[in-house]
Amino acid sequence: MNAYDGIRIASMLRGMGFAETPDVSDADIIILNTCAVREKASNKVFSELGRIRDIKKPDALFGIVGCVARESGADAFRRIPSLNFVLGPQSYHKLPEIIENPDAKLLNVDLSGLEKFDELPDMTDGPAAAYIPIQEGCDHCCTYCIVPYTRGRELSRPFDDVMRDVNAAAANGAIEICFLGQNVNGYKFSLANLIRETAKIESVRRIRFTSSYPTEMTDDLISLFGTEPKLLPFLNLPIQSGSPDVLTRMNRPYSLELYIDIVNKLKAVRPDIQISSDFIVGFPGETDSEFRDTMDIIRLVGYINSYSFKYSPRPHTAAALMKEQIPENIKKARLKTLDAALSEINREFNESCVGKTFECLIEGQDKTGKHLIARSPYMQQVVIPKPESDSGPMISVLITDANKCSLRGKIVRNPI
């Protein structure tokens, strides 16, 4: 969601005549887009702001947007007085106000819900893979998570507004549509119907969505994986922990049986589907045996391309007040053990792809300019020798080589 916000801000500024520069000291406007989900990223924000303050042009507009802006509010001005604006994740559409009135200080960390979607100018520059947010905020209230505080209550965008954005993205050249939301499958007006409508657009070749909540996986949505070939065979379905007791303390009220039942149903309708997850290790009170439950579940499900984090206490969350916080060295060791196992499963899966042909979406090229970088249907990075002629946005790639992080391949034919 943060990446999406960054794309919208950049697009809005381009529309106002700004151009990107790689050199901060050359910029007329500098915006730090921030995430507050984990403490480390959040802490880095103020040291980074200090660094920028010291090298920026004296009259450059300088501000902070996103969840750390919402979390710190006016305090950000106290800590870095040269900031011109502090805008929360639902108020960055107000940026033009400070550009028109650069001598003012602009503070807006309101949870204004869906307002920004109505106010932001349409995107005129389109990537081949477009993110379309369909909701803001989250009502789940996991005890570790700051998102309900920084982004507020869950709100679903009207179906027609979303489809208008999908059609605009397709008209701008999007081949892949990724629906976004903190609780994307809880979308009130049916994510399954959004996918069906989107699949009717001929130029859209791939559809995916992230991030899903286990209990919101309806049978309608599950069966769509079997009937809609444009829906990629890859799903991020965060389990967070393999221990029922930890899940209870996290306030994630689903059983492992229910979770595994969903995975089995998905595999029944789409045998080639792969699942990814987010994991938190070292949640308050996590015992060795509870951690082993997580290790067991990753082997059982065989997750690929997952994200793993050490638990990080966040302000405004219940878990930060729980006794039995786990010492840093134990969290670190558990993360290392988990990551080693996840890497191993990734490597096995990547190696099993050798000899297969995937339709891949080109993302760009490597630094040498000699290779294309593409994404497989499982979001693996695929490196391909660059062909002499332009290959178009989608290519068929025979996978020739694999390691734990990426695949190598060669173009076998050009499907578009």
Q: How far is the CB of 71 from ligand SF4 (least distance, A)?
A: 14
What is the footprint of ligand SF4 within residues 197-226 (CB under 6 A)? 213
238, 284, 393, 409: residue in contact with ligand 5AD (rule CB under 6 A): 238
CB-nearer residue toward ligand 5AD: 38 or 347: 38
Residue ranges of the alpha helices (H) in 16-152?
Answer: 39-55, 67-72, 75-79, 95-100, 115-119, 147-151
- Residue 112: CB atoms within 10 A of its CB come to 16
- Supply the minimum distance, in Å, between the C-beta of residue 387 and ligand SF4: 41
Q: Rank residues 63 and 284 by Cβ distance to ligand SF4 and give the closer one.
A: 284
* CA torsion, ordered 9, 12, 15, 16, to nearest 10 deg: -90
Residue 107: CB atoms within 10 A of its CB come to 19
Shortest Cβ contact with ligand 5AD: which residue? 278
Quick one: which of 97, 119, 216, 278 contacts ligand 5AD (CB under 6 A)?
278
- What is the x/- site pattern for ligand 5AD, positions 11-50, by CB under 6 A? --------------------------xx------------
Question: How many Å apart are CA 102 and CA 152, to the nearest integer?
Answer: 29
Q: Which of 92, 144, 234, 259 binds ligand 5AD (CB under 6 A)?
A: 144
Q: In 10 A of CB 33, how many CB atoms?
A: 21
CA separation for the pair 177, 369 (Å, rounded): 26
* Closer residue to ligand 5AD in complex, CB, 303/311: 311
Q: Which residues pair with residue 63 across a beta bridge?
A: 31, 85
Which one of 67-75, 140-148, 317-325, 398-406 is the stretch in contact with ligand SF4 (CB under 6 A)?
140-148
Closest separation between CB of residue 211 and ligand SF4, Å? Answer: 7
Residue of the chain from 183, 198, 274, 312 that contacts ligand SF4 (CB under 6 A): 183
Is 145 a binding residue for ligand SF4 by CB under 6 A? The answer is yes
* Whether 72 contacts 106, CB under 8 Å: no
When CB distances are held under 5 to 8 angstroms depending on the partner's kind, the choice from ligand SF4, ligand 5AD, none that residue 38 binds is: ligand 5AD
Q: How many angstroms separate the CA atoms of 63 and 85, rounded?
A: 5
CA dist 359 → 98, 166, 267, 323 (Å): 45, 22, 21, 50
Q: Please give the DSSP secondary-structure letter assigned to residue 92.
A: G
- 308 contact, one of ligand SF4, ligand 5AD, none, CB 5-8 Å limit per kind: none
- Which residue from 301, 276, 144, 328 is spatially nearest to 293, judged by alpha carbons? 301
Q: What's the CA gap between 207 and 110, in Å, rounded? A: 32
Residue selected from 104, 141, 412, 416 as contacting ligand SF4 according to rule CB under 6 A: 141
Site string (82-111) toward ligand 5AD, x via CB under 6 A: ------------------------------
Name residues whose C-beta falls within 8 Å of residue 118's C-beta, 6 or more positions apart in sequence: none
Is the bond preceding 211 in cis, omega lying within 30 degrees of 0? yes
139 vs 197, beta carbon nearer ligand SF4: 139
Closest CA to 148 of 44, 217, 70, 215: 70
In this chain, which of 311, 349, 358, 378 binds ligand 5AD, going by CB under 6 A?
311
Question: Interacting stretch for ligand 5AD, rule CB under 6 A, among 84-92, 99-107, 311-319, 362-370?
Answer: 311-319
Q: Is 338 in the site for ligand 5AD (CB under 6 A)?
A: no
Contacts (Cβ under 8 Å, ≥6 apart) of 296 = 242
Contact present, 250 and 144 (Cβ < 8 Å): yes
Closer Cβ to ligand 5AD, 37 or 330, answer by number: 37
Question: Closest approach of Cβ 158 to ligand 5AD, in Å?
Answer: 26
What residues line the site for ligand SF4 (CB under 6 A)?
138, 140-142, 145, 147-148, 182-183, 213
Binding residues for ligand 5AD, rule: CB under 6 A, are 37-38, 144-145, 238, 240, 278, 280, 309, 311-312, 314
